[in-house]
Structure 1
Amino acid sequence: MSSTNEPVEISTRMPEGEWNPENLAELLLSYQQKLRDMGAPDDEIETLVETPEDGSAKVHVSWRRTGGQTFADLGRSTTAEAENSRGHGEAIPQGEATADSKGLGAVFGDADRSAIDEPPSSRPV
């Protein structure tokens, strides 16, 4: 799995007169829920609200991802992983090919081959 750990951010600015404490709180909850629906754990959601002197409100909610999460990791997968599933427990050292990509698989291709079978690539520096 490749992950850049870039933050996911939702923000808006509301001019004076378009917000009040109740609808601002409702907006914050909806933004936080959108990030939760995307897989963000509560401890990785950051919320910032600014109310400058001009009477406006600036809302910024972000998911500071600290690692890769999958639906399976979060217990949200709808399909149970079979004990003998492809890639289960397999470690592919960087620069090495999988067993499926050698021999006839290298010549004719492997019908069951997927991106998970590719050796990991180095990350750009």
Structure 2
Amino acid sequence: MSQHFPPELLYADSHEYVRRNADGTVTVGISAFAVEELGDIVFVELPEEGTQLDQGSSFGTVESVKAVEELVAPVPGTVLRRNEAVLASPEDLQNDPYGDGWLLQLEPAPDASTDGLRSAAAYAAQVGRT
């Protein structure tokens, strides 16, 4: 898998990404680096729509044949949608983490900040993929 990190995204140290959408919502997923590290993904657990997430709180898990990784909210907000396709077919996450493999769409909290998130270049440097 290529270690390309789309430059329009912001990345958390815990490997989640945030995409700002034109309508003011954000899409959350996990990076290709995290997907590669996990290996074959067999199960994804995500919160129900309407769930309130605090920045830094756990919002689910991704389970592979090697490990179970906790998902951490990169921004605070309310879950508008969860990717039901990924719940049914975890391989979508593995095959296309930045497209069909997104996890949640959130309505960010009014005071949501992306200050703790990294640019694609800074994230690539963090994971040693520059």
TM range (shorter): under 0.3
Higher helix share: 1
TM-score w.r.t. length of structure 1: 0.27
Higher strand share: 2
TM-score w.r.t. length of structure 2: 0.26
